[in-house]
Amino acid sequence: MNRVLTSLFLLFTLIPAARSQVELDAPGPKVAASLIAEVKAAAPGQPFQVAVKLVHQPHWHTYGKELPPEVIGKPTRLKWTLPEGWSVEELPWPPTHEVESTDGKKSQGYDGTVHLPARITPPASARAGESVELIVKVDALVCNPSNCMPAKPEAKLTLKLADKAEADPAHAAIFGSATPVSPAAATAAKPSPKPERSFAGYLLFAFIGGLILNVMPCVFPVLGIKVLSVVQQAGGDKRQVLMHGLAYTLGVLVCFWALGALVITLGKAWGFQLQSPGFVFGLCAFFLIFALSMAGVFEIGASAVGVGQNLQARHGLGGSFFSGLLAVVVATPCSAPFLGSALGYTVTLPAAQALLMFSMIGLGLASPFLILAVFPKLVSALPRPGAWMESFKQGLSFLLFGTVVFLLWVLTGMIEGQPMLFLMFSLVLIAMGCWIYGRWCLPHKKPRTRLLALLLTLLCIIGGLAYGWPKVEKGAVSNGSHVEGGLTWEAWSPEKVEQLRAAKTPVYIDYTAKWCFTCQVNKRIYKDAALQKLIADKKVTLLKADWTNEDPRITEALSQLGKAAVPVNVLYVPGKADPVVLPELLSVDNVSTALGQIP
């Protein structure tokens, strides 16, 4: 009898514990994710809210975006996969609450059902009638009172695009009340900046920015070549001078229109083509060939092949048009003063207005030569052509050799190890091809010799391009720190900025790229001892956002600042919602003034 009573006692004692353990070990995912939106249909260029809905099994919980110091766990992260040109901005999450941790103590996290909000913005170039798929992957640690395990649920949402956004009444209550936002937080989640100036004011800024590009280091080589062209025209036919000026201007405008169309339709940022190692290598090879030609290693032109005067004239106009194209290509690494804000505003405009802005930048770049063409008396005041021009031309070749060196340095930020060595050897092979052409492919040589030389030249150049063409495998983004200019810089990430700002730490961010010449010029100020001391005294954390290679996170961060090109330097002052955006050209004074705002 006692055994029976004992067995019944044990049975009734263990049933609740067993039932509780069954609940803890219930089959299926411990946390499930789905994606909902406040709209049934989105409109191009109009932001809308979405929410990642997390449903936890009973007794299981996940953690918030940030962890208090006393909480042991793992912050929850959202990883978005969006169509080309779409951007996402995480909004403040709901506050966490007390949950039971694995050590029997209380912790902070989410259980039950929770909605994590974000704002998504389609590009203005998106087309109504299309359907897109939005994907988010949750990276979390899910725990119960007994154990923890990683959880990576994925959610997808298919949305239609329409001319006008259509709200979804089924989710109105969720977006109306389930994601409370404090007034202060509603200011870290502000919408895209609105222009402070009129459209006409930005047009003027665009023109001035394009004009200033003529004196930026990026354009020096082409500037020298065009000056030589103008000197050659001095004292010539006025109509021909005008035609050359118009051809150059047309080349500038056509290239700006082409780049502008790509920026608008693909949602890219200014200078995006320089994030391609293949494009930079192609420029490197082109400038090397061009420099060797100007240095006298070989000659390409009508006189070298003995064709007539009419063909030579047409070739000259084509050369002016090509010079205009080339000027824009090499100008893109530079963001001149006045140009940065104009470009940032441009990418938010409708297509027609954006192309008008790009046209004004082009007219600013072409205006000095266009003025020379319209007022030929100014051309007549230039020195007369003569033997001195050959020395002048060869001297200009060193500007092009300098450009080759700069582009090779840019490539070191994209390509590492042996592939970079192969690339440099390929340029030697290309140079040898140019030398063969200049040595044996001459009018007085025998036809057979010239043909063999031409074949060897093509073999060297094509073989060099194929041998050295960059093969890049994108690896993980480095999160380490490095010393530059006597200062320690940490790798930028949106999460790091958020953590530092939450800790009330002053944050200085340098958005830069190796192909941006102005960015490199700006670095000189960081060697100033007084500025270094000020940074140390203010306890400023320095972050480097390297945009040498394409990084959608940096593109999105720049767009939130109303920028579309680098350099961009910003300072986050504790207690202030809006960052201090510094001018494109830095000085010790303007950086010190910005740092002086830190209490």
Section 270-291 average pLDDT: 82
Cα angle, residue 254 at apex, residues 248 and 259 outer, rounded to 5°: 130
Strand partners, 487: 484
Cβ neighbours for 64, distance < 8 A, ≥ 6 positions apart? 75, 76, 93, 96, 108, 109, 110
Least reliable range by pLDDT among 156-170, 350-364, 388-402, 515-529 = 388-402
**Architecture field, domain 25-185:** Sandwich (2.60)
Could you count the other beta carbons within 10 Å of the beta carbon of residue 201? 14
Does the pLDDT of residue 295 top 70, yes or no?
Answer: yes
Does the pLDDT of residue 216 top 80, yes or no?
Answer: no
Contact (Cβ atoms closer than 8 angstroms) between residue 221 and residue 400: yes
| Structure-token pair, residue 437 | 């052409």
Separation CA 559–CA 17 (nearest Å): 55
DSSP for 252-300, please give it. HHHHHHHHHHHHHHH---TTGGGG-HHHHHHHHHHHHHHHHHHTTS---
Distance of CA 560 to the CA centre of its chain: 13
At residue 36, the 3 state secondary structure works out as strand
The residue among 475 and 593 whose pLDDT is bigger is 593
Could you give phi then psi for residue 37, rounded to 5 degrees? -130, 155
Least reliable range by pLDDT among 87-101, 224-238, 479-493, 550-564 = 224-238
- Considering only the C-alpha atoms of the chain, give the largest distance between any 2 of them, rounded to a whole number of Å: 127
Q: Report which of 408, 397, 394 is spatially closest to residue 285, judged by C-alpha positions.
A: 408
Separation CA 461–CA 20 (nearest Å): 74
Does the pLDDT of residue 22 top 50, yes or no?
Answer: no
Class of the CATH domain delimited by 481-595: alpha beta
Considering the chain, what percentage of its residues have pLDDT values greater than 70? 75
Q: 481-595: same fold as 25-185?
A: no
Does the pLDDT of residue 111 top 80, yes or no?
Answer: yes
Average pLDDT, the chain: 78
Q: Report which of 407, 456, 581 is spatially closest to residue 508, judged by C-alpha positions.
A: 581
Cβ neighbours for 167, distance < 8 A, ≥ 6 positions apart? 38, 39, 40
Section 566-583 average pLDDT: 91
Cα angle, residue 114 at apex, residues 113 and 118 outer, rounded to 5°: 150
Task: Specify the pLDDT at position 347.
Answer: 63
Does the pLDDT of residue 322 top 90, yes or no?
Answer: no
Q: Considering Cα of 307, then 312, then 318, then 319, what sign does the dihedral take?
A: positive
Does the pLDDT of residue 52 top 90, yes or no?
Answer: yes
Of the pLDDT bands very low, low, confident and very high (cuts 50, 70, 90), residue 406 is confident
Least reliable range by pLDDT among 5-9, 136-140, 257-261, 479-483 = 5-9
Could you give phi then psi for residue 98, rounded to 5 degrees? -70, 130
Per-domain residue ranges of the chain: 25-185, 199-415, 481-595
Separation CA 191–CA 189 (nearest Å): 7
DSSP for 158-216, please give it. EEEE-SS-EE-GGGHHHHHHSS---HHHHHHTPPSPPPSS-HHHHHHHHHHHHHHGGGS
Section 124-132 average pLDDT: 84
Least reliable range by pLDDT among 378-382, 452-456, 545-549 = 378-382
Cβ neighbours for 376, distance < 8 A, ≥ 6 positions apart? 238, 241, 242
Least reliable range by pLDDT among 90-94, 382-386, 478-482 = 478-482
Section 204-213 average pLDDT: 83
Does the pLDDT of residue 49 top 50, yes or no?
Answer: yes
Burial 573-589 (b: 16+ CB within 10 A, else e): beeeeebbbbbbebeee
Does the pLDDT of residue 382 top 60, yes or no?
Answer: yes
Contact (Cβ atoms closer than 8 angstroms) between residue 13 and residue 138: no
Could you give phi then psi for residue 256, rounded to 5 degrees? -65, -40
Task: Specify the pLDDT at position 461.
Answer: 93
160-164, 169-173, 365-369, 461-465: which is most confident: 461-465
Tokens 């073999």 belong to 459
The residue among 499 and 349 whose pLDDT is bigger is 499
Task: Specify the pLDDT at position 385.
Answer: 65
Contact (Cβ atoms closer than 8 angstroms) between residue 118 and residue 91: yes
